[in-house]
Amino acid sequence: MKTTIVKSISFYLLVICIVGSTISSNAQNKSQQPVFVLVHGAWHGGWCWQKVSEKLRAEGDLVYTPTLSGLGEHKNMLNKDVDLNTHITDIVNLIIAEDLHHVILVGHSYAGAVITGVADRIPERLEKLVYLDALLVDNGQSALSLNPKESQDLFTKTAMDFDQGLSIPSPSSSWFGLTDSIAVRWTNDRLTSQPYKTFTQPLVLKHPYGNHLPLIYIACRNPELAVLEQFADQAKKSKAWKYYELNTGHDAMISMPAELATLLSTFK
């Protein structure tokens, strides 16, 4: 009888210890800083952050590099319903499912629209927003509408010719400012077509742009994509933004990963 009681007490003590350890672990995860979530731009995937994430993780940082629906390794999921809201939901779901807090949310290029949408929905999970050579899409605007009329027409015609308007085929990686032949070939092998509706669907915001979070803009100005010049200048002139420059082309995570990782580390 005594043996049975002792065993029962030991069992319950074990359960209490396990539960206590789990609660402690969860509390540590919630307070852990920083948590980087790196969101790729159009035609890319989580793969593009490989070297940046390696450096950040080597410094002990927690880093997530999700791939948006219909792109990269998820290209088999491309369908007519994938739009900007889908991509915003991708990142919101990741942050909630992984129970992430104090997130430094980084959006490259097209993903400027994505991270702005995420901030509009779950600002309490985020620490700051970092726009890496990104579009600054405001309420009612779309990625397509921010392009000149001739570019809009070209994107639309290219999508129709490619797969009847389902997606926009990727340009060569040299268009993103890559010049190293190995980097060009590696990137070209991984680029996938961009779901067309992600470019055409207007962003809907219920709160002010950025939802009161700190805003950071990193411009890649050598060479600079013409469509992004206005946004870099806007951030540079505004007191609401912290502004930085990298002396490289648009795909800085591939052409200048070490320097980019070092810069991101200063935002912790």
- Mean pLDDT over 101-123 rounds to 98
pLDDT score of 14 more than 70: no
What residues contact 21, with CB distance under 8 A and at least 6 apart?
none
- pTM score, two decimals? 0.89
Which pLDDT band, with edges at 50, 70 and 90, does 30 fall under?
low
Q: What was the pLDDT predicted at 25?
A: 40
Which pLDDT band, with edges at 50, 70 and 90, does 218 fall under?
very high
For 144-167, what is each residue's pLDDT tens digit?
A: 999 999 999 999 999 999 999 999
Q: What was the pLDDT predicted at 182?
A: 97
For 187-216, what is each residue's pLDDT tens digit?
A: 999 999 999 999 999 999 999 999 999 999
- Mean pLDDT over 15-27 rounds to 42
For 127-136, what is each residue's pLDDT tens digit?
A: 999 999 999 9
CATH domain 32-265 topology: Rossmann fold (3.40.50)
Which pLDDT band, with edges at 50, 70 and 90, does 31 fall under?
low
| Range with lowest mean pLDDT among 3-12, 13-22, 97-106 | 13-22
Domain boundaries, the chain: 32-265
Angstrom distance (rounded) from CA 8 to CA 100: 37
Q: What was the pLDDT predicted at 59?
A: 95
Q: Is 213 exposed, middle or buried (0-12, 13-18, 19+ CB in 10 A)?
A: middle
Angstrom distance (rounded) from CA 113 to CA 126: 16
- Is the preceding omega at residue 34 within 30 degrees of 0, hence cis? yes
pLDDT score of 235 more than 70: yes
Q: Which two tokens stand for residue 105?
A: 């949310």
Cβ count within 10 A of residue 79: 13
| Range with lowest mean pLDDT among 29-43, 68-82, 88-102, 238-252 | 29-43
pLDDT score of 108 more than 70: yes
- Is the preceding omega at residue 123 within 30 degrees of 0, hence cis? no
Q: What was the pLDDT predicted at 32?
A: 66
Q: Find out whether 145 and 198 touch, Cβ atoms under 8 Å.
A: no
CA gyration radius, the chain: 21
Q: What was the pLDDT predicted at 29?
A: 47
Is 109 labeled as catalytic in the residue annotation?
yes
Which pLDDT band, with edges at 50, 70 and 90, does 2 fall under?
very low
How many Å from the N-terminal Cα to the C-terminal Cα in the chain? Answer: 58
Q: Which of 69, 109, 142, 255 is catalytic?
A: 109
Angstrom distance (rounded) from CA 77 to CA 223: 33
Which pLDDT band, with edges at 50, 70 and 90, does 33 fall under?
confident
Q: How many CA atoms lie within 13 A of 154 on its CB side?
A: 8
Q: What was the pLDDT predicted at 236?
A: 98
Q: Find out whether 160 and 154 touch, Cβ atoms under 8 Å.
A: no
Angstrom distance (rounded) from CA 7 to CA 12: 9
Q: Which residue has 């309490």 as its token pair?
A: 124
pLDDT score of 13 more than 70: no
